[in-house]
């Protein structure tokens, strides 16, 4: 482990920064963590994302799993540890807040093609596969105390059911929904809603427990159940970053933020499936890559990625510390 940590601390500044905080237990006040953070904020790749996001929300949303969507890029920056007070973030936040629905969820411009059951017209709306992603970012940025953010959390949490969160959309989208039964949970909506609650004081709520149970049940029953056409097969099990869609690392990263899942054999089985992918040095190589992220160390499949390896080790560390 010492050699692995040394390797991570020789990586990009965002890997160094997060490894110091999440693996070494350093605080934000310690000089090494502060130095890594300042280098990270000044890095061209990080600055480039911040500058791009000043044009929020970017392209009209037609496919939620497009890795290049600005909502996914913002979530990644927040995973690195950017805050509302960092340079350029105020403009992005202001643009997000401008488009909050009366009910509470933050909206995106979207156009669902008629072939997929939409109207084919551009509109500002929200769905449970985008609103939680934006909300997660606002919470990570440190805005959880804002009334508008709290309103959004309360409304979206209230959409949960006994079997987790379903496919749900704003009234502007009419009767459109994903390709599944109304009674089924939507695996991705359920995942990103758990991701939201993990950042709040609602981590132990009945909704959170129902959502976690839904996610783990889907894992155990994955050979037979594929609600809304979300499979947990070969592609689901491939290691990839950043956290954009429904895959094994994303699910594990979210679920390991709920310490009351300690000892759950389904979670342990999922974690073991990932750990088995380590090379002889304990490093992890991406098994799938998003084209939109090919300039990052996890955007290739030929050699170990320090960011991907950090993500796996953090998951393992959480489970060991429970």
Helix (DSSP H) and strand (DSSP E) numbers for the chain: 13, 2
- Considering the entire predicted model, what is its pTM? 0.95
Q: Does 116 have pLDDT greater than 90?
A: no
The tokens for 100 are 């909050």
Instruction: Give 243-284 pLDDT, tens digit per residue.
Output: 999 999 999 999 999 999 999 999 999 999 999 999 999 999
3-state helix, strand, coil in the chain (%, to 5): 50, 5, 45
- Quote the mean pLDDT of the chain: 95
Q: Does 179 have pLDDT greater than 90?
A: no
Domains for the chain: give ranges and CATH numbers: 1-42 (no CATH), 59-321 (1.50.10)
> Residue 177: CB partners within 8 Å, gap ≥ 6?
117, 167, 168, 169
For residue 292, what is the DSSP state? Answer: G
pLDDT at 172: 81
């Amino acid at each position: 482990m010492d050699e692995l940590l040394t390797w991570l601390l020789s990586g990009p500044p965002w890997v160094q920064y997060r490894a110091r905080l999440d693996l070494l237990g350093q605080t934000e006040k310690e000089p090494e963590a502060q130095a890594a953070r300042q280098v990270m904020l000044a890095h061209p790749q990080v600055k480039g994302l911040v500058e791009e996001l000043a044009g929020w929300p970017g392209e009209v949303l037609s496919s939620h799993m497009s890795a290049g969507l600005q909502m996914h890029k913002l979530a990644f920056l927040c995973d690195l540890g950017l805050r509302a007070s960092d340079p350029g973030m105020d403009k992005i936040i202001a643009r997000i807040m401008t488009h909050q629905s009366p009910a509470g969820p933050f909206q995106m411009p979207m156009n669902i093609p008629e072939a997929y059951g939409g109207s084919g017209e551009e509109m500002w709306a929200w769905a449970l596969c985008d609103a939680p992603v934006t909300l997660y970012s606002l919470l990570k940025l440190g805005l959880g105390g804002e009334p508008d953010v709290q309103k959004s959390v309360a409304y979206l949490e209230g959409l949960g059911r006994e079997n987790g969160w379903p496919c749900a959309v704003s009234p502007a989208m009419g009767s459109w929904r994903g390709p599944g039964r109304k009674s089924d949970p939507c695996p991705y909506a359920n995942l990103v809603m758990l991701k939201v609650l993990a950042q709040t004081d609602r981590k132990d709520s009945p909704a959170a427990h129902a959502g976690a149970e839904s996610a783990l049940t889907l894992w155990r029953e994955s050979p037979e159940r594929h609600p809304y056409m979300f499979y947990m097969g070969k592609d689901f099990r491939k290691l990839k970053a950043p956290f954009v869609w429904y895959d094994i690392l994303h699910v594990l990263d979210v679920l390991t933020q709920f310490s009351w899942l300690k000892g759950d054999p389904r979670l342990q089985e999922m974690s073991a499936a990932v750990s088995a992918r380590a090379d002889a040095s304990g490093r992890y190589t991406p098994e799938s890559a998003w084209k939109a992220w090919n300039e990052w160390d996890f955007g290739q499949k030929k050699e170990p990625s320090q960011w991907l390896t950090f993500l796996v080790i953090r998951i393992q560390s959480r489970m060991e510390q429970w």
